[in-house]
Structure 1
Amino acid sequence: MAEARHWDVVWLCTRATVGDANIAFGAYVLAALFVKDWLWIAKPWRLSTLSIYLGVGLTVTILFEYWATGAGQRWNYSGLMPDVPLLSIGALPLVQWVVIPILLIYTVKWMFLGWQISN
């Protein structure tokens, strides 16, 4: 990316952000379908629901990172990126997909419950 034009990098990062948002949305939808409740996020969470939500996101992330750094040749990791030995992918994308979605669902739950109290 160091040699790429600025707007090319902006476009790449924008697409990656939209892709990550779609992964999170898809994982949420699959968890909602599993529990048959679109508002599962605002209720006490079941371990199975969280497992589906995080599992789907991690699985898609692993598959995409594996493809993108291998056959897809979309990018290469810097030597500074810690890797997951058995998967041959970067550790930070996996950590990102655990930390950010958990923060996201806590934030959405907090916002939803606050909205319920104010009405």
Structure 2
Amino acid sequence: MRLWDGTQIIKPSVDRGLSEWSAMAEDLGRESARLVAQVQEALDAAPWGPGAEGEAFRAAHFRNDGPNQMLSQCTRLAEEIADAGHRVRTAVDNTLKMDLEIRRDMAAGRVREI
């Protein structure tokens, strides 16, 4: 459907692209969860040891909760990437519906103020 400014939304192309996006996001979500679990397992093993040097390493490594924040951000980012596809699909569908309504109103001689 061609919009008022000359842009064109080709729904089958959008649907195909968003299907690919969803498949990629699902793969990313699975791989991200696997990697987060693997890193968490390594952190839980505390390989730095109980001595003074190990404690110094642990304190430096976990300063400002860096590793835990990184794992949380990784999980959140994978979720946001998956959600982006849903938001784009909704935006495109709403745009096409509104364009159709405007065309109907114009064909019927009705004008809307927006």
The TM-score range, normalised by the shorter chain, is: 0.3 to 0.5
Q: Using CA pairs below 8 Å that are at least 6 residues apart, which structure has the higher relative contact order?
A: 2
What is the TM-score with the length of structure 2 in the denominator? 0.35
Larger radius of gyration between Structure 1 and Structure 2: 2
Structure (1/2) with the larger helix percentage? 2
Q: TM-score, normalised by structure 1?
A: 0.34
